[in-house]
């Protein structure tokens, strides 16, 4: 079968048949290039020994390619209008399960248990809507899903932020949040011309390999992430000033300087110059200080 969904002609025919109108609120942009899809699958490491989870299958362009290459595909679709279209476009494939649920509200761990054998090698592969990329990825990594990797097509600028290194313009709190749980790499950039309708920005394929354990030890993950976020609140400000603003109700400037000194970190540096281990050291020093204050 070579009459794939992911071509301009077939996509137009499907949209016309169902009189489908794109919903801007759902960030719907359908891929119309089979080569791009096959590249995504290759980068995701999908083969007949692996299972795939997809988010937002649309009219089934990526789903079809996943079904050809993977043992089984479970796809989450929130838009009810697409369910009959998917039933039609994917009727030749018996290894696809469409789940009509919002991925952000679904119990993904339970759905994986229901659909895949235990210890099956599972990968998340998706063309994610731009407007909701970060909440979806953070849910997937924080829910500790039994998956090996997450390979997603997302806005190029966001992909660069997630895979950034310290001392770069793209590096920030999002970088640290994602890289705490995963090894992140931009494997390919994608022009806007391969989508229907064309988005306003270029895309990139980001591959996240799930870590068995974080690369740094932190006493309190929530505190760590909040402190990191505060350190980037105003990028032009020094670490000392950003932390002073964040902790204004708890610590005075002198106390913050003492904590920075104990952490071995110069408060005149900016957040973007600290690597993850330095942020972990700083967060753990704050936690120790808090415990000491509580004990007194």
Query: What confidence score (pLDDT) does residue 27 get?
Result: 63
CATH superfamily of 8-210: Vaccinia Virus protein VP39 (3.40.50.150)
Query: What confidence score (pLDDT) does residue 249 get?
Result: 87
Alpha-carbon distance of 214 to 212, in angstroms, equals 7
Between the CA of residue 192 and those of 4, 13, 66, 197, 198, what are the distances in Å? Answer: 20, 21, 22, 9, 6
Alpha-carbon distance of 52 to 122, in angstroms, equals 6
Question: Residues comprising the binding site for S-adenosyl-L-methionine?
Answer: 29, 31, 56, 77, 102, 127
**Mean per-residue pLDDT for 187-202?**
90
Query: What confidence score (pLDDT) does residue 296 get?
Result: 64
pLDDT-derived band at 80 (thresholds 50, 70, 90) equals very high
Average pLDDT, the chain: 93
Between the CA of residue 188 and those of 31, 155, 185, what are the distances in Å? Answer: 15, 12, 9
**Mean per-residue pLDDT for 116-126?**
95
Query: What confidence score (pLDDT) does residue 250 get?
Result: 86
**C-beta of residue 41 within 8 angstroms of C-beta of residue 67:** no
* pLDDT of 74 strictly over 70: yes
Domain regions of the chain by residue span? 8-210, 221-295
Q: For helices 221-231 and 239-246, give the axis angle rounded to 10 degrees.
A: 120
**What's the whole-model pTM score?**
0.92
* pLDDT of 293 strictly over 80: no
| Other beta carbons less than 10 A from residue 152's beta carbon | 25
Query: What confidence score (pLDDT) does residue 25 get?
Result: 60
Which fold would CATH assign to domain 221-295?
Helicase, Ruva Protein; domain 3 (1.10.8)
* pLDDT of 24 strictly over 70: no
**Mean per-residue pLDDT for 241-270?**
93
Question: Residues comprising the binding site?
Answer: 29, 31, 56, 77, 102, 127
pLDDT tens column, 35-63 = 999 999 999 999 999 999 999 999 999 99
pLDDT-derived band at 291 (thresholds 50, 70, 90) equals confident
């Amino acid at each position: 079968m070579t009459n794939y969904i992911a071509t301009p002609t077939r996509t137009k025919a499907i949209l016309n048949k169902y009189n489908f109108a794109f919903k801007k609120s759902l960030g719907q942009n359908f891929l119309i290039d089979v080569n791009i899809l096959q590249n995504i699958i290759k980068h995701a490491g999908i083969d007949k020994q692996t299972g795939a989870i997809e988010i937002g299958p649309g009219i089934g362009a990526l789903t079809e390619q996943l079904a050809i290459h993977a043992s089984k595909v479970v796809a989450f679709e929130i838009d009810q209008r697409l369910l009959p279209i998917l039933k039609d476009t994917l009727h030749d494939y018996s290894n696809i399960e469409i789940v009509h649920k919002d991925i952000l509200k679904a119990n993904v761990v339970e759905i994986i248990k229901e659909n895949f054998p235990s210890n099956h090698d599972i990968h998340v592969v998706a063309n994610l809507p731009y407007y909701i990329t970060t909440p979806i990825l953070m849910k997937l990594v924080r829910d500790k899903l039994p998956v090996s990797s997450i390979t997603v097509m997302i806005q190029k600028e966001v992909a660069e932020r997630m895979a950034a290194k310290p001392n770069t313009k793209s590096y920030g709190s999002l970088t640290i949040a994602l890289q705490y749980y995963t090894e992140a790499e931009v494997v390919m950039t994608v022009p806007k011309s391969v989508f229907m309708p064309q988005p306003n920005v270029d895309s990139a394929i980001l591959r996240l390999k799930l870590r068995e354990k974080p690369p740094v030890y932190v006493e309190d993950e929530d505190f760590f992430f909040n402190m990191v976020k505060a350190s980037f609140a105003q990028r032009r400000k020094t670490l000392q000033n950003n932390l002073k603003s964040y902790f204004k109700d708890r610590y005075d400037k002198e106390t913050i300087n003492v904590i920075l000194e104990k952490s071995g970190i110069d408060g005149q540096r900016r957040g973007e110059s600290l690597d993850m281990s330095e942020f972990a050291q700083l967060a753990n020093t704050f936690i120790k200080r808090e415990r000491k204050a509580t004990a007194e």
